Amino acid sequence: MQQRKLGNSSLEVSALGLGCMGMSFSYPPFPDKQDMIALIRAAFERGITFFDTAEVYGPFTNEELVGEAVAPFRGQVVIATKFGIKIGPDGKQLGQDSRPEHIKQVADASLKRLRTDVIDLFYQHRVDVNVPIEDVAGAVKDLIRQGKVKHFGLSEAGVKTIRRAHAVLPVTALQSEYSLWFRRPEAEVLPTLEELGIGFVPFSPLGKGFLTGKIDEKTTFDGSDFRNVVPRFTPENRKENQVLVDLLNRIARRKRATPAQIALAWLLAQKPWIVPIPGTTKLNRLEENIGAVGVELTSDDLREIDDAASKITVAGARYPEELERRTGL
């Protein structure tokens, strides 16, 4: 597996990471825990050294899963987790909470669940409009001084927040959605990250599964699957957005690859400091995703994809309105 550095930092990870959220959050029905421990270990055996989790995934159960899975080789992998969401006694999310005292409580609790003495990359999960980002960065700086955290990250933050945070404590990575069907980061975020030497970790690099070509307008999801409330996933919009999958299929046939591999290879080709974190619960999908690292897209291929994609307007918003309001601040 190729290695990449996240921006100007010393944090080196596999070119593809593994997003673990779907193993216990957002995309039910959830598989058996032991099966997911085996999958995480299989990912490591195949060269993946970057695992993404968060306290709210479950809540709490995803960190416990990742901690148990990587325990035998903890020193050889990078664990990223997140803070900044208030969780009620019933496990429900109660909005943002990035007060410094809360960040420190979350860090201590996450360390225990992850069975480790240090968090490699600690992201603010969403920008908290009630807490100055300077205070957030200051709290993480304290955790770094104490040896509990190595690197600071942001998720779904806008360029003003990124700059303000980076002035207090270097930001190692930004995690935000980015793929061929959500390209908003290209306008302002990617140039800012390049200027400041910050790595980029795209989540949902396969469009929440849509870019694999395995979902169409007839696909039905589990009743509590997050995609049921995503405007982009209404049957009408799925039918209209099939044109993007058709484009990927066309390139994939030529490259003897799959649509998912082309979508991931396209992301990897954008910048050397981009590390996508596709999630899966299936070994065959894991191996398919890893295969994307070996797919070489020429400059002509990339130009063809960009030219065709520029003529496609993706139908439907990526989030319901109330969730979209929390992003890009």
Q: What is the largest CA-CA distance in the chain?
A: 54
Q: Tell me the C-alpha distance between 329 and 313, whole Å.
A: 24
Q: Is the alpha carbon torsion for 129, 134, 135, 139 positive or negative?
A: positive
Q: Tell me the C-alpha distance between 297 and 294, whole Å.
A: 10
What's the helix, strand, coil split of the chain in %, to 5?
45, 15, 35
Which structure tokens are listed for 250?
A: 């066309």
Q: Would you please indicate which residues are annotated as catalytic (active-site) residues? A: 57
Name all contacts of 228-235 with Cβ < 8 Å and 24+ positions apart: 229/320, 230/316, 230/317, 230/318, 230/319, 230/320, 231/316, 231/317, 231/318, 231/319, 231/320, 232/181, 232/314, 232/315, 232/316, 232/317, 232/318, 233/208, 233/316, 234/316
Q: Tell me the C-alpha distance between 14 and 47, whole Å.
A: 7
Continuous H helices in 15-126? 33-45, 61-70, 100-113
Q: Tell me the C-alpha distance between 38 and 141, whole Å.
A: 35
Q: What DSSP designation does 10 have?
A: S
